[in-house]
Structure 1
Amino acid sequence: MDDLFSQPAPDKRIAELTRQLEHHNQLYYQEAEPEISDAEYDALMGELKQLEKEHPSLAKPDSPTQRVGGAPLEGFEQRQHLVPMLSIEDIHELKPEELEELQATKPAATRAENLREWFKRFQRSLGHSDVRLTIEPKIDGVAVSCVYRDGVLDYAVTRGDGATGDDITQNIKTIQSIPLRLPAGAPALFEVRGEVFMPNAAFAKLNQQRDENGEPAFVNPRNATAGTLKQLDPKLVASRPLDCIFHSYGLVEDAPYSSVSEFQKTLKEYGLKSTHWFHQPSTMDELLECIQKLDQDRHDFPYATDGAVIKVDDLALHAQLGATSKHPKWACAYKFLPEQKETLLKSVTVQVGRTGVLTPVAELEPVFVSGTTVSRATLHNQDEIDRKDIRLGDTVIIEKAGEIIPAVVKVITAKRAADSKPFSLYDYVDGQCPSCHGPIEQEEGFVAWRCVNFACPAQAVTRIKHFASRKALDIDGLGTAVAEKLVENQIVSTTLDLFDLEADSLADLLLDPAKLEFGDSKPRRLGEKKAALITSSLNDARKAPLSRWIYAMGIPHIGESAAREIARLHKDLREVASSPILQDLAELPDFEELSVSKRKKENHPRLAKYQIESELGPVSAQHITAFFHSEGGKLVIEKLQAHGLNPTSDNYDPEKSALEHADSAIAGKTFVITGTLSKPRPEFKKIIEAEGGKVSGSISGKTDYLLAGEKAGSKRTKAEDLGVAVLDEAAFNELLAK
């Protein structure tokens, strides 16, 4: 009799966890009917990750764990399509002026006149008019081809030039709705093609975040999707909510369908996401009715669509109709004109984002466009206003960018009033943050104006999240939901107010259901365990080293490396706040690109002995000096003193060149790390830095060594071209032992 309390064999448990996770992925991403909470899902995923870590030989390429994104890629490899990936012929809806000109000679002409001509053309090619068509939305995304062999996703490729594309397999694996394995019975070779896109809500949120960060907004969802898929770091891709809808095929062995409509059913049977809007007209009148209906319905779709894809249903007719060198003759894409409306720009207001960026917003005379009434539109920044010459009182043309976000397209200068006025964001806010009346600045190289007050209430949530992040003070349990409620309830207004929190009152904090797991319909109490975890972490944070505290303050241009260099030069935070070293450094011209020897000559005499690393240049010194001289910085020092805190350095050694690593073969050397090694790259980075070396992200003539593991890629080639010494792990260990 089996022992009832024995654990299942690792291979069986991995298979069972994989089955469960695939089942729940299908329910969540395909059917939108989850059965378990996020926490329960995470527990299953965590167990699978641990088992695969303990038994790496059992980890499979189609495991659900492969979706989180692996190590950054060196570059995209080129891969040839199994059959050419042709584009579809575009048939454009006539513009009003084009229709007016055509109706002068053809009074019965409509906006869809170009489509009528296409319809007649393929009918003539067939020699009859009895043809059933299919119509589905044209998704405004990025075309991709996924190849499954023996039911497992083998690779994924972009369209490229139609013959060859970029292999983006690792990025595609991060898209949860794309199955890594097909059900039993799928063709041995199944090349399926579709469109990767960013859903409307996710696109709007991403652009909001970019506005708040002072980054340029994406023009439309397709632009955002293309930019994401081009990223070489799959983890960044995994952090952006992409989706994919499949609509066609490439090379397929023993295809189980003979029409486009049957293919749609096959997609559903295989768990491949397909369009939810699909019709089969047979006449031109029916086709026009479908197009009209799609033009109305598309405003409620969760993704951007800019037209209709029309195909001949019967696959046998595809071969008869054939294709040109660019596109098939049995399909076309009917492109809708973006709906534009004219309205009055009454005024411009300014919002303060969660990262302190000031964003101008056009206040419009309300107008109905693309399915909704629009009364406001973002203007992004002062540069955008100046480029389009937007003035108060102007008559403007607006449309929804990607049919989602209202945007001012242009000004109708012919209707410009004599008393229209240019808009200056800086003058409008009188050089002060509208939220806290603190100072604002425009950083060099950035177009956005930003509030630099550490105590600005508009930035409180973002600053608390950064303050509590793993690389900063690592405060467990203090995520977005908790931070938002603490600020909303006016329990804290700055990060240092967190140290006034008490576990008993924190436990009664009510969190919004939208921030919680599936199934919650009312606010949930934080509870004693979570409250104790947060307060315990806050107590631990009191003992965190100076470098973490400096990084946690979120000062512009002060990253982890700069914070650690500042901590090397100062004993404690009070010394940093009144540092003559930083003051002298702030007065120098930027020397980021100079060598250490050259830098010493350029340095202020009092700085020469410190051999300050390039991560801490004059720009960084200017920002941290300005911070501690600001009202917000002074408030930080006051509050720290009130809490009895003065963070101290754990790496204090201002004259390290005379004391440390004198006999190390690594001291003073610059390394670049690439490829797959026995340990994660950050572990090797710590070893190198502990020995007085430096790690860079890119190869240059200043690089001393390339530490290269398996699949080193283009960096190894560049190192060899530049004559940079290449070390494998064994050679690195030998160097380390010298």
Structure 2
Amino acid sequence: MDPPEDNPYVRDPPRSFDPVDDLHPETAKQQVEHLRGAIRYHDHRYYERADPAISDRAYDALFERLLELEEAFDLRSETSPTRRVGGRPIDELETVEHVAPMRSIDSSVEAADLRAFDERVRGQLSESGYDGPIGYLCEPKFDGLSVELVYEDGELDRAVTRGDGTEGDDVTANVRTIRSVPLELQGDPPLSLAVRGEVLMPKAAFQVHNRERIERGDDPFANPRNAAAGTLRQLDPSVTANRPLACFVFGVLDDGGRGFETRREQRTAVERWGFRTDEHTRFVESADGAVAFRDEMLDRRNDLGYEIDGTVIKLDRLDACETLGSTARAPRWAFAYKFPARSEVTTVRDIVVQVGRTGRLTPVALLDPVDVSGVEVSRATLHNPDQITELGVDVGDTVRIKRAGDVIPYVETVIDGGEGSFQFPASCPVCESPIERDGPMAFCTGGVGCPAQLRRAIQHYAARTGLDIDGLGEKAVDQLVESGLVERLSDLYSLSADDLVDLDGWGATSAQNLLAAIDASREPELAAFLSAISIPNVGRATAADIARHFGTVDSIVAADEVELREVDGIGPTVASEIAEFFNSERNREVIEELREAGVEPQAAETAGGTLEGTTFVFTGSLDGLSREEAHELIERHGGSATSSVSGNTDYLVVGDDPGRSKRETADEHGVPTLDQSALETLLADHGIEV
């Protein structure tokens, strides 16, 4: 893409501009056109050539000026670079039919299969009488999400995911935010054009994005492919705009009658029109050349800025492709020669310290995705600062990954690394509060004043295992904390409809629904309240035991470690942690602030309840009653609900689609079984209404 001629914003652009009020409308219109042209050029240099012509600050000044002028003079355009910031959320993704089929490609990790593909191609072409040259265009096989981009009169009309190959999801609003996708084509494009590309998240951007997610308490994406796919299908384009996606174009689905003869000609044309292509693409004349290309890309795989999982080999001559045609699933003229899966050994790309809701700091290694026992892994726990020192692990090291109990990935050993290890921070990476050590573990001292702890504390407080506040999910919590509306848990109870409707994506109805759900949580059951306030090692079952034993929140706050150990199922370690929690001045303040805001946990029925000493186990699903609700009902009235059948079990409750093992164990121990009707009768006999 050549720089726009006579454009004052291409080289050494100004940092300041004349006031908008001093501009004539025609002057503003001309300035807008110059700004758009310059920004498109600078986007091309930055996102496609990785060779920026101006500084980020200079670019930001141009972008802000364009936004200002478009707003002041009503000069908005669907093809303006400012459209990339994202539009309004949509209700759902529509299904759209493709211009041309987007088929899968046959693949293998064996060189022999690629050579067989080449022999088959040459044999079928010979049998058909084709006598033209035979060669292949080889390109990296991107590990992202395939899309169709359709342009009408040189402007982006729609973008559609591959879907089932015949139709896919309309993701136009999201694709418009990707800066390597031109909104308006350059040069001499056809009036109608459809191309095929791959949307992906670059590896460096993926690691940065995962670091940000972990630091704010969100779960990271498993790999760049999942990150790209999840981002592209967002219903809120502004979310997509804030995530770093890129797009490479590698095929033409409809050339608008241009009549290209080869794929190489198509590639030259799409580059001229402003699309990003991959620089590694190569023409070869034989299967040997295709194998050599794949082996070279395998060697370079770790050095690339994006994930690839193999190479794609396509016949270059389009008339040869037409001669061969396609099956219902795949073209006969293309083949994917894939890489073997990475296995256990990988590279540490970053180490990030995650802040839990209790303030515990857990170091996490972000990895190049690797196969471990059949599962793709992109992060692994490093447990604590002492473990880092013991392993001697640092960013850039080659490590071996294992899975504890085939579940939790961890770094087993460093295979190749430098001297020393990652330096654990002395202060919280989120709020910069001092870090305290408790044996091998480290804790942030910021409490709920730490945004990461506050976010996770609110999410836990509002979760089903807490007070079950509908509408207070991850996104809503992020908005409330980032806007400053909620700086402590008790602030939830002072929110107003006016506060909420000012946030993106909120309307009067959603605001009122959330306020009603918050208001309904002002008189929680004591067990639910205890489970909600993030006491270490206190889930719903333990909370119910504590509530039954003490009866009121005041009795629990005043209890010492000895008294806590009298609760069934609580050992010395958990009792110590609970006592330490309530001895904390800050935690007492949180509880007092909630009560001052109108939250009053209801007294629980203490030991000696109607089901005291009775143990239930549930298997299968109940009609109108979740497993969690059934456990809570039993425990609220003095009984116990456990997960496994033993000789101490009084009743096994059998719902729909029950498991076999619990029933067999119940038969072995002579444990009576109840269906849902019998359970409801038993509870009614004890004065308990379901």
Q: Give TM-score scaled by structure 1 length.
A: 0.52
Any residues of structure 2 matched to 1:367-446 within 5 Å, and which? 378-380=379-381, 408=401, 410=403, 436-437=435-436
Deviation at 1:439, TM superposition (A): 8.1
Deviation at 1:602, TM superposition (A): 6.7
Aligned residue in 2 for 1:78: 95
Quote the Cα distance in structure 2 between the aligned partners of 1:550 and 1:49: 23
Asked if 1:34 corresponds to 2:52, the answer is yes
Aligned residue in 1 for 2:254: 251
Aligned residue for 1:318, secondary structure, equals helix
Q: Which amino acid aligns with 2:37?
A: R
Aligned residue in 2 for 1:63: 80
Aligned residue in 1 for 2:38: 20
| 2:84–2:178 contact (8 Å) kept in structure 1 | yes
| 1:211–1:380 contact (8 Å) kept in structure 2 | no
Quote the Cα distance in structure 2 between the aligned partners of 1:208 and 1:244: 22
Aligned residue in 2 for 1:53: 71
When residues 159 and 377 of structure 1 are mapped into structure 2, their CA distance, relative to the original with a 3 A threshold, is closer
Deviation at 1:186, TM superposition (A): 0.4
Any residues of structure 2 matched to 1:176-325 within 5 Å, and which? 176-255=179-258, 257-325=260-328
1:174-213 alpha-carbon deviations (Å, 9 max, x no partner): 1111110001410101101100000011112222333334
| 1:24–1:34 contact (8 Å) kept in structure 2 | yes
Q: Which amino acid aligns with 2:44?
A: Q
When residues 653 and 260 of structure 1 are mapped into structure 2, their CA distance, relative to the original with a 3 A threshold, is same
Q: Which amino acid aligns with 2:209?
A: L
Any residues of structure 2 matched to 1:491-506 within 5 Å, and which? none
Q: Give TM-score scaled by structure 2 length.
A: 0.55
* Ranges in structure 1 where 5+ consecutive residues have no aligned partner: 94-110, 344-348, 371-375, 383-392, 395-399, 414-419, 421-428, 441-448, 467-546, 569-590, 605-615, 637-647, 656-738
Deviation at 1:405, TM superposition (A): 9.7
1:490-530 alpha-carbon deviations (Å, 9 max, x no partner): xxxxxxxxxxxxxxxxxxxxxxxxxxxxxxxxxxxxxxxxx
Aligned residue for 1:359, secondary structure, equals strand
Deviation at 1:24, TM superposition (A): 1.6
When residues 592 and 438 of structure 1 are mapped into structure 2, their CA distance, relative to the original with a 3 A threshold, is farther
When residues 333 and 411 of structure 1 are mapped into structure 2, their CA distance, relative to the original with a 3 A threshold, is farther
Aligned residue in 1 for 2:120: 121
| 2:215–2:353 contact (8 Å) kept in structure 1 | no
Any residues of structure 2 matched to 1:483-522 within 5 Å, and which? none
Deviation at 1:34, TM superposition (A): 2.0
Aligned residue in 1 for 2:339: 336
Deviation at 1:338, TM superposition (A): 1.9
Quote the Cα distance in structure 1 between the aligned partners of 2:84 and 2:444: 38
Q: Which amino acid aligns with 1:182?
A: L
| 1:204–1:404 contact (8 Å) kept in structure 2 | no
| 2:25–2:73 contact (8 Å) kept in structure 1 | no
11-20 or 168-177: bigger deviation: 11-20
Quote the Cα distance in structure 2 between the aligned partners of 1:363 and 1:33: 28
Residue from 46, 62, 65 that aligns with 1:44: 62
Quote the Cα distance in structure 2 between the aligned partners of 1:261 and 1:79: 29
Aligned residue in 1 for 2:552: none
| 2:355–2:453 contact (8 Å) kept in structure 1 | no
| 1:310–1:331 contact (8 Å) kept in structure 2 | yes
1:326-365 alpha-carbon deviations (Å, 9 max, x no partner): 111111111110232579xxxxx9955599563356899x
Quote the Cα distance in structure 1 between the aligned partners of 2:399 and 2:213: 16
Aligned residue for 2:140, secondary structure, equals strand
Q: Which amino acid aligns with 1:126?
A: L
Deviation at 1:632, TM superposition (A): 6.0
Deviation at 1:631, TM superposition (A): 5.7
Deviation at 1:284, TM superposition (A): 2.0
When residues 80 and 325 of structure 1 are mapped into structure 2, their CA distance, relative to the original with a 3 A threshold, is same
Aligned residue in 2 for 1:705: none
Deviation at 1:156, TM superposition (A): 0.4
| 2:311–2:337 contact (8 Å) kept in structure 1 | yes
Any residues of structure 2 matched to 1:516-535 within 5 Å, and which? none
Quote the Cα distance in structure 2 between the aligned partners of 1:548 and 1:285: 58
Aligned residue for 1:280, secondary structure, equals strand
Aligned residue for 1:379, secondary structure, equals strand
Deviation at 1:286, TM superposition (A): 2.0
Deviation at 1:409, TM superposition (A): 5.4
Quote the Cα distance in structure 2 between the aligned partners of 1:405 and 1:140: 22
When residues 553 and 241 of structure 1 are mapped into structure 2, their CA distance, relative to the original with a 3 A threshold, is same
Identity, % of aligned pairs?
32
1:545-593 alpha-carbon deviations (Å, 9 max, x no partner): xx999958855x67x744637xx9xxxxxxxxxxxxxxxxxxxxxx999
Asked if 1:564 corresponds to 2:489, the answer is no
Quote the Cα distance in structure 2 between the aligned partners of 1:52 and 1:11: 9
1:628-673 alpha-carbon deviations (Å, 9 max, x no partner): 974667999xxxxxxxxxxx9xxx9989xxxxxxxxxxxxxxxxxx
| 1:304–1:404 contact (8 Å) kept in structure 2 | no
| 1:218–1:224 contact (8 Å) kept in structure 2 | yes
316-325 or 81-90: bigger deviation: 81-90
Quote the Cα distance in structure 1 between the aligned partners of 2:105 and 2:482: 56
Quote the Cα distance in structure 2 between the aligned partners of 1:197 and 1:404: 25
Asked if 1:131 corresponds to 2:134, the answer is yes
* Ranges in structure 2 where 5+ consecutive residues have no aligned partner: 1-17, 372-376, 384-389, 407-412, 414-423, 457-479, 500-512, 536-556, 558-579, 600-690
| 1:211–1:359 contact (8 Å) kept in structure 2 | no
Aligned residue for 2:227, secondary structure, equals helix
When residues 621 and 55 of structure 1 are mapped into structure 2, their CA distance, relative to the original with a 3 A threshold, is farther
Quote the Cα distance in structure 2 between the aligned partners of 1:15 and 1:282: 46
Aligned residue in 1 for 2:446: 454
Deviation at 1:25, TM superposition (A): 1.3
Asked if 1:158 corresponds to 2:161, the answer is yes
| 1:148–1:154 contact (8 Å) kept in structure 2 | yes
Q: Which amino acid aligns with 1:83?
A: A
When residues 23 and 145 of structure 1 are mapped into structure 2, their CA distance, relative to the original with a 3 A threshold, is same
Deviation at 1:287, TM superposition (A): 2.0
Quote the Cα distance in structure 2 between the aligned partners of 1:593 and 1:191: 47
When residues 353 and 276 of structure 1 are mapped into structure 2, their CA distance, relative to the original with a 3 A threshold, is farther
